[in-house]
Amino acid sequence: MKNGLAKPDVVVDIGHIESMRGIEKNGDATSIGALTTYAEIDDDEELWADATVLAEAASEIGDTQVRNRGTIGGNLAHSDPASDLPGAAIASDLTLVVEGPDGERRIDADEFFVAMYMTDLAEDELLTRIEVPRGDGATSGAYVKKPSPSSGYALVGVAAQLQVDDGTVTAARIGANGVMDHAVRLEPVEDAIEGERLSDDAISAAAERAADDLEEAMMMDDLQASAEFRSHLLETYTKRALERAAERADATVTA
């Protein structure tokens, strides 16, 4: 509304719906209410352990005031291509739970982000909570970004979640934001790193494939960064995300 992109006749305040707040651990998943703030996610030590990618992305958003007021549901439903959480949502394999007149519907993060400011949410649906698979001792993750000097939003942000067994990657999920008009999954990187030991060579080779499935002609191209530069940043920050995740995996094994 501030930017003039929407001019609704009615605005409904959902900020006082207590059932849409809070973080609950339920067996093999963690449920996060859509009205839970970034600060609450950042402050949750168990989330940092079980869903490192999501917690780290939340900690990178805006400043203290923004993190105290902004919510995970508002962020994801807005689908800003330069926001930090969508890529982390994909890497974390989140399930977004929405409700409408026909009841509850569950949407995988891979399918939720459609285009710039567009999601799979119907006009009469509301995002109510997010479900995060709980990791185990073999799960390691990281989120890194190149922030815009003017806004702090991500020129490029990359989230990496790895399952590691004795130094070898058994499964990987890599998400990115800031590159295309919506968050995307980098499956060529996943294919390249899975089955490999977390060596410098393996990480570099996987990162080189970051843009393999992305058309440069469709990449974000604006006054802040050209499509060509974003493609370069994507490879660089994919490598950094994998390196940080590898360091954390090694620290877990050592501990």
- Region 185-194: mean pLDDT is 98
Q: Which residues pair with 129 in a beta bridge?
A: 33, 97
Q: What is the pLDDT of residue 82?
A: 95
* Domain spanning 18-133, CATH class: alpha beta
Q: What is the C-alpha separation between 35 and 49, in angstroms, rounded?
A: 22
Domain boundaries, the chain: 18-133, 139-254
pLDDT digit string (tens) for 176-188?
A: 999 999 999 999 9
Superfamily assignment of 139-254 in CATH?
Answer: CO dehydrogenase flavoprotein, C-terminal domain (3.30.390.50)
Whole-number mean pLDDT of the chain? 94
- Region 95-124: mean pLDDT is 96
Q: What is the C-alpha separation between 69 and 54, in angstroms, rounded?
A: 17
- 207 phi, psi to nearest 5 deg: -65, -30
Number of H helices, E strands in the chain: 10, 11
Which strand ranges, in their side-by-side order, compose the sheet holding 154-165? 139-147, 154-165, 168-177, 184-185
pTM of the model: 0.93
Query: What is the pLDDT confidence band of residue 255, given thresholds at 50, 70 and 90?
Result: very low
- Region 215-244: mean pLDDT is 95
Question: Residue 123: is its pLDDT beyond 50?
Answer: yes
- Region 187-208: mean pLDDT is 97
Single-letter code of the amino acid located at 86: P
Q: Which residues pair with 29 in a beta bridge?
A: 26, 133
Q: What is the pLDDT of residue 252?
A: 56
